[in-house]
Structure 1
Amino acid sequence: MIYNNRLIDEKINDYKKVSILLNLKRYLFYFFVAFLLSRINILFYIAPIGITFSIICVLKNDKIFGIIVCLSSMLGYFTTKSNFITFDLYIIINLLLIFLNFLDLKNLKNNLKKILILNLVGILIFLYKYFIIGFSIYSSLFSVVTEISIILALYFVFNNFIRVMSYFNTNQIFVREEVICLVITICLVVSGFNNLKFLDLDITNIFLMVFILMMSYVNGISVGMISAVFSGAIIGIIYGDPFQYISTYSLISCISSLLYLSSRFTVVLFCCVCVLILKLSTISFIGISENLLLVEIFVSMIIFLLLPNKILNKILVYFNEEHKKEFYTQKRLFNTLDMRIQKINDFNNIIKQLSDMIVSNVNFKYKMLDKKIYIEILAESVCGECNNVNLCWKNKMKLVRNELFLSLDNFIQGDKKLTKYIEKICIRKDNIRNELTKISNFYNMQKVYEDRIYEAQDMLSYELKNIHNIIEQGVKEVKKDIIVKVNYEKSLISKFNKFKIKYFDLVCYEENDRIKVKVILPYKVYCEYKLDILDIVNLALPKEMILQEDSSQYINSNEEIILNYVEKYNYKIISHCLQLSKKGKNGDNYIFTQNSNDNYIIILSDGIGSGNEAYDKSKFTVDLIYKFIKTSLSLSSCIKEIISIISLKFFRDESISTIDFASIDLYNGKMNYLKCSSVITYVKRENEVFVLESDINLFEDFDESTNRILTGEFDLKYGDILVHLTDGLIHFKDLSNKSWLYNFLKKVTIVSPDKLCEEIIREFKILNKDSFQDDVTVIVSKVYKNCD
């Protein structure tokens, strides 16, 4: 218990240290804010902005926090004494607030404390203006009303600012009013840098213009124009020319908001041109000394242009309500997905541990009886009833035991002979031979059984490892970045509502940098608007979309249909296949089709031989591969498991069917291919022919029982022709003809896949004189530019 209490105390101390550090950062931040806000004087005798912030902090019932802010505010007012006559009034008000902060006013309601403080502040302002400055009663009352009105207006802004900052790094989504209050406060804080110059350039003006550019570019015209007008008014009042600053800031904000989809360079270029036109229309001579505002604008443009994208993305998340909602919705989605995936990973780890344990744990191994036990059994059953037992075992026990060991080894190895010594001294040789025969047969059976157990352990461990790898690959595919496009969804929903098309659900997301749309709607609605839905989707989205082939799924129970729309493909593949059978049914099988992963796949399998048995084997192979590919798994990650399944299915055969697989990305034309004991593939490009070789030498005999796997990539272009084939097309009696297809493709000018396929078969028949040694299959595919 003492040890546990110690641990608890250490944790409490750690929490206290973290809390102190967080409070210290918070105090420093608000010290800096209060200092800058106190440096702003609206008119020559009025500067209540810093006082407003001090009042709000005192009302938070945090004495340390209130004192720090009041002291910072006093310091800020003190720095303005050279150009602000009534700075001492606001220092006195801050001292009053510090005094009230020490009083125990917790029993008072917040509204009563607010009224009390405002009344005391109003009385102090009236007395100071009337007795110290020498204003009249009406002027003093007017000054009090003006400053209290400003305090009440800014109270709402600063109160929202402090509340927003307390939830700033959380997933709290701020409404537009809170964002506007945050922007106004930041503009005021930046304005607190007034009279701070570098190389005669006003730092405040530069910071404000950079901030306005960022707010307009990120949040649009509403927030951008508010920040522009408010900043221009404040800085204009300080410098005595509010209309110039408001017009300049508003122009910059308007251009940045309207061009938010363009690059920052475009925004900066348009802003510079428009500001120059505005300045040329109001002045007759441009010089750096007379028009430093132009230089400050250009400097702020350069700073905006050089800002890292990381900063703009952070501002987008914090200030843009829709983007923040999208960001945290996406984050919650992936967090939930990670929790589900973790359970799969835990199960996958168990599979891996079982695989390792089966191999390493000796308890799984079958234990054979020791040969010594067999010798004891032999001696008891045969020698125990012998009259010469004492002569053999008592006088020469070690020698007899060793001789029987040697005789047992001879019988186990198949040599049915006793040793010379046993033959000489034993009077029951026939009984010993019979017993040794039984023991050797039993021992050999146990040995075979032991070997089978070891093989089963290895095979089970191997299959478990393959399953582990497949699950791991599947998890990686699931965890690919999927971004829900909220803005696109809103656009789609508005279009569907505008055209009065009923739907049950609609989701728009981005996967692998490609936009995808899934729509669930009533089947009757689909039949009515079948041709119009695609046009509506293209009208709502910035990229041209198409309906994914074979993606529609009709659900009878709910009378719903699911439509999947994807970005228009850049490539289109058309394939044609012809087969020749040696006898009976062709033993080859194939599939060429477009799958749901935006790839065009070609699968060709040779069943090794011909007839129904070869056909069943190759069909099972093709169907199995297609099922794996439909799960979005890469074939290279699960090919070993596929081969194992095929081997178990057809375990009586010495060899399995070949695998020739190609997957073509319909967006970039990249082809990934995999070959397992298959022959070469040709790619014809104009007058060139490329060879995608397997690791089997076509000009030599090879052992078909061995499974060799080859993978690779090839970049296809428009007009390329692919030729996939089985080995029947290159099996000739005359070995010199084995390269005939390569030479034929080099010379042929036919570009249509169906005609080229027919021409290849025709040429093959001529060369073989209409006789062939194996089933023949040839698939010709051509790559087109997708213009539909």
Structure 2
Amino acid sequence: MANAERNVIEPLGEVNFGKPKLELSRGFNKFQLGLETFFLKKGYLLLLIGFLLGRALILAQLTPFSLPFFAAVYFIRKDKAPIALIGLVAGAATLSISNAVSAFGITFLFLFAFRIAKKWLHNEIRALPFFVFFTLLAGKLLEDFILSQQLTLYDGMMAGVEASLGFILTLIFVQSLPLLSISKRRQSLKVEEIVCLIIMLASVMTGTIGWSVYELSVEHIMSRYLVLLFAFVAGATVGSTVGVVTGLIFSLANVTSFYHMSLLAFAGLLGGLLKEGRKIGVAAGLLIATLLIGMYGEGGGNLTKTLLETAAAILLFILTPHVLLSKLAKHIPGTSEYAAEQQQYMRKMRDVTAQRVAQFSNVFQALSKSFSSYDEPSEWEESDGTRELDYFLSNVTEKTCQTCFKKDHCWTRNFDTTYDYMKEIMNEMDENHGEITSRLSKEWDKHCRRSKKVTDTIQQELTFYHANQRLKKQVQESRRLVAEQLLGVSEVMGDFAKEIQRERENHHKQEELIFEALQECGIHIEQVEIYSLEKGNVDIDMSIPFCNGHGECEKLIAPMLSDILKETVVVNLEECSAYPNGFCHVTFRSAKAFTVDSAVAHAAKDGGFLSGDSYSTMELGCGKYAIAISDGMGNGERAHIESKETLQLLQKILQSGIEEKVAIKSVNSVLSLRTTDEIFSTLDLAMIDLQNAGAEFLKIGSTPSFIKRGNKVIKIQASNLPMGIIQEFEVDVVSEQLKAGDLLIMMSDGIFEGPKHVENFDLWMKRKIVELKTEEPQAVADLIMEEVIRSRSGYIEDDMTVIVAKIKHNTPKWTSIPVQKIRQKAN
């Protein structure tokens, strides 16, 4: 019982212990959401900024911030412009009532002029700074004239300076105000946007000039705090920039604070350099800068005050939540948070793209099923053909029996007899080419009063029936072909979606190990990027200094990588620098287990230039090697075009990733539907897997192929009609396991059936292949061609093509270099 109570009490205790934390977290999130709603959505942050900008001064008398800020708010967030105006007027009123009246009057003048000219403006954002410039210039000149009843050159110059500052500040505020909203925008900030944001923040802080807490200057504390934030988040470059810009604006507002620009710039530089020490390091940078620069200020008496201001800024910085710093860092390029945010964004885009591709794959699969469903007999196309027979006889009776006076006798009283007779007549006409037996003719004459007319009508309708059946069969075959093609496209897109979702693995540790291993062996490497370390699919990119064509990538780096990765690695692509101080970019990939050396010998009929045979050897991206021969019907240019187009179309379909059978059926469909001429092509295709030397042979109307393995010859044969004769056919695939040293010999009919006075072409070709004394592919191809031509007494009576491919183990030129042993001996 005690154990049972303990088991009940302990979980309850855990729940109660975690409940306050959960409530605290919810309370904090609720408080944060409330602050965002109050300051950002309702616009009271603009009220605060407007208040500080309304009392900000330049050169102790110019107030150029009010109108640019109001103009930017009016253009970007028009509904919050009254709140911003209230803040500006209230801030100006803290200086003097005349400043408040001036700020309100210039704003009213801007609105009046902008409303009048708005109908003629094509681009308001471009015209906005000019409106601010002329409004400030006219307003200040009018104000000076009202106060002093005259205008001097000094008044004009000061009005021009203030109007020019207003022009620039308008551009800055238009750039920086959107950054203070919570609307969804792009994550990265441009350098110009960062500078504009800094200028705006510094301008806002000038509104605190004259404020002090316990005799400590608020503007000095806030400016140093701002420098600490950016130095910690973005490093020395941005930190020093923030220091210079902030110090410059404070110097313009108060000339006595000019030396603070040096302090802030130096603090930003030191703090950024010491950011690896986290907050303590950045704070130490500000403290050192304060001690060094503070001595050159207004004397040693103020050093204590300066240090206290620095300490207050450091305290604020230390108390700043890390969440706020992380959010700020996400927007600044170069930071780890920004990189993580970008990676997350790219991952999201990758997932969305993969999802869309998968959806397209499902669409093509559904279309394929839709076309395939027509192959099944529907209620109108029953398997026994009874319904079609009924429709056929209905058409016959409509033209014959409907007007006959014995219709009721034949179809009401003797329906089965009449139906059976007409069915038998139709069957006999179908089998005997329109003729019926004399017995059936006599019986039908006795049964029907219009026997001759009925038989003629049946014969006529039978012709239409057969034409309709051929058309339906053709449509059905076309549907089946389209269904197979759509299914092939669906499979390719499905595989592509899976490839997209394969996220690049993080190989930082392996990159450092390879980098260090090569550096210790004296190979200077600038950069290493690993994309895949999968067995048989290694993919590594490197940047190395200019090698001057010495081939150190192939001779040194690839053998070292082979030892490190315990797998043969070769140079796949190399881009050498065009100048001595540049870098070479090299791609290393896994070596294939086998290679194929191919050679060809071919000749046109009667020694012509154009052969009806076409051939192609290509390495596909999926680690397969394809060899193909196509023989167009006949000879000459037309046969050459047919065979060439067959291979080109096949190559493009195979390279897209579609399976071989679907590819061949697609090519056959194009050839059969493209023209009504009886122009056909044969196809002999061999697909060799370079990883295991497995081969698949697809022969469409082509001659046999032969594999020479030592003294043994293996015949590869399949039976299929040439391409283009029929639309629907099954592709026979013959599989064979090749071995290193095998010779694969493929030929057109001009070679296989070329020898004269030969009864058995198979035995003759096998004997000639066995008698070969060489295994060099080109020599074998030339010898077979020569033997066939000699048997014809030197005449070439047909187009001839023979391709010979030798399967070999992929042996790299350079053996692996034992990097691990060298490092162990060095250590």
Tell me the TM-score normalised to structure 2 length: 0.43
Q: Structure 1-normalised TM-score?
A: 0.45
